[in-house]
Homo-oligomer: A and B are copies of this chain.
Amino acid sequence: MATVEELKLRVRELENELIKCKQKQSAVEDAHSLALNRPKIEKMSAEVVDSNPYSRLMALKRMGIVDDYEKIRTFSVAVVGVGGVGSVTAEMLTRCGIGKLLLFDYDKVELANMNRLFFQPHQAGLSKVEAAEHTLRNINPDVAFEIHNYNITTMENFTHFMDRISHGGMEEGKPVDLVLSCVDNFEARMAINTACNELGQTWMESGVSENAVSGHIQLIIPGETACFACAPPLVVAANIDEKTLKREGVCAASLPTTMGVVAGLLVQNVLKYLLKFGTVSYYLGYNAMQDFFPSMTMKANPQCNDRHCRTQQGEYKKKEAERPKVEIVQEEEEVVHEDNDWEIELVAEETDAELEAASGTVPDLPEGITVAYTIPAQDNTSGETVEETEQSLEDLMAQMKKL
């Protein structure tokens, strides 16, 4: 049996060990809480001190680029798809100090996503929206986040998605300022398109090709510019969901470079649109093989299959007609690229039903851009699919003229 002395010694030992354990624990927790918390900032300051996370952004005013940078805090943006492009898009907007972000995605983080920016290996298995919110809140606690871990294309979720787009603004009940499509499949793009046409919601599309070396961004103002159903997609290559690809043992290639560039061009366009500086691009492509950046504008298609698009077109025309004539309508500058020695290859892998759904007139393409397919039919229910992707623009235009 233990003596009093032995027991006292044991108590002293245990007490010391416990102190050490608690010290270590609190050090770990301190580091953790330090990581999580910088205090929220009430008002953006332009003060040039190391501790001001907004000094370099507020400097855009002094540089004569942006008139009112603080206005960024009044905007709410929805990002649909938080993958290779969407996650970087959300991070850029968070670091810029956007007012509110709504994130939509139903996928989980996988190690197979580690070849793109943003997610880290320890997040594997977490839902993308939860993992993203955690990281982003950490980076900038001034941003408000709203996350939705679901697939927007199912009936019930689509209704909820529509509701959040039209009520999830900075002031609850008001619509968001912009919807960004960063999804990787045709159905989700069509769902966003349908929702935005019905709501008259301006949105931006983005996409990266399956071979990882081209991408694009596109601004869609319902009634004014071509919607996703007005014209066939251009630089978006295969419209196969990544999941489908995985099941077949095939997977699309992707690169952090291409996705980073596309996200950068997208958010730059968002900033220009929201903060009113520079020229907002309607369509900007990126061909990484040749470092070629085609740009263009596409008007809405009066024969568009989406009836809400046609309604918006009518309303846009009415508004345009009512505009005082003295106003100078600014013409978009179009960059003409003489070089024609490159080729964006597109592989149409849609089903016939998808082809029909996305049919429309061939837009006025700059040289070098080809479309994956075209169904310029008077009759909406039938059309010709052009599966030959290497068909030249001349061939397509000649075909168009024949109709």
Give how many A residues have a beta carbon under 8 Å from the other chain's beta carbons.
105
**A74 is an interface residue with CB less than 8 A from chain B:** no
Q: Does A34 contact B (CB under 8 A)?
A: yes
Q: Is A11 an interface residue (CB 8 A)?
A: yes
Task: Evaluate whether A96 and B115 lie within 8 angstroms (CB atoms) in the complex, with A121-B138, A289-B278 already known.
Answer: yes
Q: How many copies of this chain?
A: 2
Q: Which residues of B contact A267 (CB under 8 A)?
A: 256-257, 260
Per-residue CB contact flags for chain A residues 247-266 toward chain B (1 = under 8 Å, else 0) read: 00111111111101101110
Partner pick for A292 among B117, B138, B211, B335, CB 8 A cutoff: B335
Which residues does chain B contribute within 8 Å of A21, judged by CB atoms? 18, 21-22, 25
Least CB separation from A291: chain B residue: B281
Chain B residues whose CB sits within 8 angstroms of the CB of A245 once the complex forms: 48
A206 to B185, CA, bound (A): 34
A153 interface contact, C-beta 8 A = no
Tell me whether A328 is interfacial, beta carbon within 8 Å. no
Return chain B residues, CB-CB under 8 Å to A337: 335-337
B96 and A256 contacting across the interface, CB-CB below 8 Å = yes
With the chains together, A53 CA to B119 CA distance in Å?
12
Complex contacts, A292 vs chain B, CB 8 Å: 335
Q: A56-B251, A251-B48, A264-B260 given as contacts; is B138 within 8 A of A117 (CB)?
A: no
Residue ID in chain B nearest A237 by CB atoms: B63
Residue contacts A-B, CB under 8 angstroms, 24 given: A7-B7, A25-B25, A35-B120, A38-B111, A38-B121, A48-B249, A50-B112, A53-B114, A59-B252, A60-B255, A64-B211, A65-B211, A92-B257, A96-B255, A97-B115, A114-B140, A257-B267, A257-B268, A258-B264, A258-B268, A260-B263, A260-B264, A292-B335, A333-B339
**8 cross-chain pairs, A with B, having the tightest CB-CB distances, nearest first:** A35-B122, A278-B289, A261-B264, A59-B253, A14-B14, A260-B264, A7-B7, A50-B110
